[in-house]
Structure 1
Amino acid sequence: MSVISLVLGLAVLTGCALNKGTALAADFANDWAGTPDVVDIRTNAENTLPFLGQATGVLVLADGTPADRVTGLAGELREYVVRHDEITGRIAADGVTFTVVGNESRTGEALGLWRSLAADERVADGDIRAAVRKETDRWWVGITAVDAAGALALFRDMVADGGRHRPPAGGTSLQVNTERGARTGLMVGTGSDGGAPTGAIAAYEAVAARYQVVHASLKPDRASIVVAQSADRDHAEELARRAAPTLGAVEVTRRVR
């Protein structure tokens, strides 16, 4: 008997799908089809090995779906992923997508952050994602802001105690970007351990107070700043290094047309 025949025979005998991730994704789409307020269902399959795989399913809700309805669907989806532990469930509503995990309190924290981000006019879109599948104490949050001032303010709101936005408890990595076309492109993010880029922000603000910044990338261990062509690059770098004398890497370049 050939290996292919043996594999196919086992699939028939056991009732398992050869491409399990694909089968799980199809199940998710079928199970949630026709759900009120769900306007689209997006799935992604991971077929790791024969008969092994996972899937992610996203319920896309109609614009303006009431928060109470989103909360109710999150509860239903949480119960679903508990029963189907190889499927990651997510909800996209009002421009913000969040992961629903089996732990009720953790899902409640993600839902609370969804509510605050969806109501914030500075937010263009957001993503609240469990960094590890299912029961996890680690989250990744990505936010797109309408402009650089909003991006920096949102970042501070997220990392400050008592800020407007409260990330899930435990470990959370955060990255805030400006949307495409912003006058100043800005990316500010924590380290993998959640540490804030305090020095990099100080360097950026020192330069931005004197010169037009075209783009900046700020992380705990480095600051990369691009100033306008008319700026004095050497002076801008001096300002940045003076503001953050202990920062490991400070790079200031001038835009070239």
Structure 2
Amino acid sequence: MSIIALALGMTLMTGCAIDKGTALETDFVDDWAGTPDVAKVETTGNNTLPFLGTATGTLIVKDGTSADRVAALANELRDYVARHGSTTGRIAADGITFTVVADKGRTSEAQTLWRSLTADARVVDGDIDDASRKETDRWRVQLTAADSRSAMAVFRDMLAAGDRHQPLSDVTHLEVDTKRDVRPALKVETDLDGGVPAEAIAAYEAVAAQYPIAGASLSAKRASIVVAGNADQDRAGELARRAAPNLGAVSVTSDRGN
């Protein structure tokens, strides 16, 4: 029997699609099209091998939809992904997109964080995504803030248990950036295991206390700081290194001439 004939026979016998990811996309659209308060259904598919694949479906919620209705959609979507293990479900509402997983507790936490972030005027947009690996549940949270001061404040609020935003129970990689066209620019992030870049932040704040900042990128392993105008770059570098003596890499440059 030829390989093609065998493949066709398997398709007829099992009802499985050769391009499973594409088939899962189609199923998601068919199952969710016309859902009240859903403006659009977006999907992506991954056909890894014949008869194997995954899909991601996102419900784009209509503007003005209540938080209670979003919660109801999340519960419905949670039931759906629990029955369709190869499909990832996501909801985009009020500028924040979050992943819905089969686990009720994890989805409830993501939904609670979505609610608090949408109520935070400092947050422009964001994404709460499941980043689990093997037997370890993880999240990846990426947020955009209105300006550098807001970015640092939101970052700290996200890490302060019981404060404005309730941290997720699972290991979380958090990244907060300013909008692309905002100056001074700031990017601050934890490591993949949620470790706080305390020394990088200390270096940034030591320089900011003395000189205007044009931009900075702060992580657990590195602080890259750009001072503005006629700031003393060498002195700024000394301040940064003194504040972060154990940080692997500290870089201070200037935007002079740019």
- Please give the alpha-carbon distance, in whole angstroms, between the structure 2 residues aligned to 1:137 and 1:64: 32
Question: Counterpart of 1:120 in 2: which secondary structure?
Answer: coil
Question: Counterpart of 2:98 in 1: which secondary structure?
Answer: strand
Q: 5+ unaligned residues in a row in structure 2: which ranges?
A: none
Give the aligned partner of residue 189 of structure 1. 189
Calculate the aligned-residue CA RMSD, in Å: 1.5
Contact 2:61 2:91 in 1 (8 A): yes
Q: Which amino acid aligns with 1:209?
A: A
| 23-32 vs 245-254, greater mean Cα deviation | 245-254
Shift of 1:12: 2.5
- Please give the alpha-carbon distance, in whole angstroms, between the structure 1 residues aligned to 2:227 and 2:26: 49
Give CA-to-partner distance per residue, 1:135-166, whole Å, 9 cap, x none: 86211111100100000000000112222111
Contact 1:103 1:135 in 2 (8 A): no
TM-score by length of 2: 0.95
Contact 2:186 2:215 in 1 (8 A): yes
Question: Would you identify which runs of 4 or more consecutive aligned residues in structure 1 move more than 6 Å?
Answer: none
Shift of 1:209: 1.9
| 113-122 vs 155-164, greater mean Cα deviation | 155-164
Shift of 1:105: 1.1
Shift of 1:64: 1.6
Contact 2:241 2:250 in 1 (8 A): yes
- Please give the alpha-carbon distance, in whole angstroms, between the structure 2 residues aligned to 1:229 and 1:10: 68
Contact 2:61 2:93 in 1 (8 A): yes
Give the aligned partner of residue 89 of structure 2. 89
Shift of 1:14: 1.9
Shift of 1:59: 0.2
Q: Which amino acid aligns with 1:213?
A: I
Identity of counterpart residues, as a percentage?
Answer: 61
Contact 2:160 2:167 in 1 (8 A): no
1:150 and 2:136 matched: no
Q: 5+ unaligned residues in a row in structure 1: which ranges?
A: none
Contact 2:185 2:214 in 1 (8 A): yes
Give the aligned partner of residue 220 of structure 2. 220
Shift of 1:46: 0.9
| 52-61 vs 130-139, greater mean Cα deviation | 130-139
Number of residue pairs aligned between Structure 1 and Structure 2: 257
Give CA-to-partner distance per residue, 1:41-73, whole Å, 9 cap, x none: 110101111000010000000112101100111
